Structure 1
């Protein structure tokens, strides 16, 4: 049995959710890494009874597409069609290290906030905020976000297995850090291993440039 909710079941939960917690919020996402990039972000306000991803459970195909290639279209459609308030790509493209993106949302009846974006360079890593409860009391709240592994692809760290944007300097000739998926559920990402051999070694990722540890982002939510 698929451990993630289908579009139909998500829609059913949204229709049954009756909480009245209309609020306007400002959401600012800051890339807190030294040299890791975020693909276009998805920000969704929704009922606390549903989730777009869940640690310890298998990723849906929409999360897989986002985490492996940065494609938020299917995930955005899934949430929007179910009644979520969705903002796609508030940074208008890649969110560079140290940069921030801000969006304003009228959350309607939604009481939870989810944020996702792929981490570059990784095989299937993504920054994630999983169904964070939106406070009802006006104020400014800060949340630090971890990087997750979607569990859908082995972390081989090879150039042929990852998106290769021109702003990332990949090596070649790596033999692969991993060859099989060792945990096929969403889990905390171990970070890139990398190496210092640009023409061989295990990885095609430079360990001096693209290693990272959690947390990878800071989110500030202002409830008005």
Structure 2
């Protein structure tokens, strides 16, 4: 592959630092993970946004989370049409092969994908309407959710749609027969969460109240 190039020097240096410290100090654990295979307790579906570090937020150890990231942490509906579906494949593997106990959808504040969807649906991003736009066609998953936030003041719409993206993914997860079966048999629980990047806050969806509420250890 003639277009591939060597790694940037700063990444090489960081790798060498990791190998000499973190890996060296935990070599036995890494080798155990390699020999015994992965047994993650949970799958987390998060956004690609570089500011959202799933393992840091939840203090996860190596091998604890099966993480899948995409634009705006979206899960499409179940569509066994013979095409290529990366997110659906990840969900299938996590639930049917790894037998994760929890499936967490993690949304976040200032999500560029969600803002793009809102702009597209309100006529401010015609480039995303093009059939050639991968981002635009992916955000079509969230398009119906825009109707749920139309009546809100403009300065509240983006955050509301970010949370609607989490709920859309949860609803779509239940269209997967193997997910629905695992949930019904109490082998899997679904969770909706949303984090604020600047404040480090975390909200979880409370189905009893029908809203996201701050995670509070006293409750």
**Could you tell me the TM-score, scaled by structure 1's length?**
0.29
Question: Relative contact order (alpha carbons < 8 A, sep ≥ 6): 1 or 2 greater?
Answer: 1
**Could you tell me the TM-score, scaled by structure 2's length?**
0.30
Larger helix percent: 2
Larger strand percent: 1
